[in-house]
Amino acid sequence: MFFVLTIDILTLFPEMFAGPFGSSIVKRAQEKGLVSIKIHNLRDWATDKYKSVDDHPYGGGPGMVMRVDVVDRAIQDIKSKIQTSNNKTKVILTDAGGEKFTQKMAGELARDEHLIIICGHYEGVDARVEEQIADEVISVGDYVLSGGELPAMTVVDAAVRLIPGVLGNEESLTEESHNDGEVEYPQYTRPEEYRGWRVPDVLLSGDHKKIGAWRKTKR
């Protein structure tokens, strides 16, 4: 059954997504009607006049923590406006302590109908978001970023390109790095020689069996 993957992203900095999602493959996927991406400012669900989305952590400590009530209110509101065939929305929290994001996970997300991605910020997100609200907590690497916007962009880009019909050449998916746990073989193009750096002779041989064997050893 054909469906459009709908992705809702909750962030404090909506303007960060304009460039990455307004160009290249993600842009074309949206233009083809294969994915619908909506960026939401989390402050729209704040209830005080200051549009507060964070507060000091219980027990003391530096920084501010994003509030669970604001996050939950936003998610419930978004869910109420979306209809899916299985009535299922997958809620993802980007967090440095989450499960390491992989190509396999990207493929699984590409088969979902509705994703809500929460971009963490400040000193963190109230732990009840992870404990009670999020279905998955994803990390894009063992390092700390200023917020969850860049990880959200990474997750979306990796998943969207795997949606059937997004790429012009579907065969390229079978050759990609990490598709089967390995990194793709080296690629070369013209000129055949540049500054003494030559393309491997086997790639110029025309012997597809030998080329295939060479590529296999280089993966």
Tokens representing residue 112 in the block: 């979902």
Q: Which of 122-131, 133-142, 165-174 has the highest mean pLDDT?
A: 133-142
Instruction: Tell me whether residue 121 is exposed, middle or buried, using C-beta atoms within 10 angstroms of its C-beta: 0 to 12, 13 to 18, 19 or more.
Output: buried
pLDDT digits (tens, 9 = 90+) for 138-192: 999 999 899 999 999 999 999 999 999 999 766 555 555 455 567 889 999 999 9
Can you name the residues that pair with 115 across neighbouring β-strands?
Answer: 7, 90
Share of the chain above pLDDT 70, in %: 93
> What mean pLDDT value characterizes the chain?
92
Give the pairing of strands 5-11 and 35-41.
parallel
pLDDT, mean of residues 28-49: 97
- At residue 13, does pLDDT exceed 80? yes
pLDDT of amino acid 123: 78
d(CA 208, CA 204): 10
- At residue 70, does pLDDT exceed 80? yes
Structural domains of the chain ordered from first start: 5-160 (3.40.1280.10), 185-218 (1.10.1270.20)
Helix, coil or strand: residue 198: strand
Are the C-beta atoms of 66 and 126 separated by less than 8 Å? Answer: yes
pLDDT of amino acid 176: 55
Query: What is the pTM for the complete model shown?
Result: 0.87
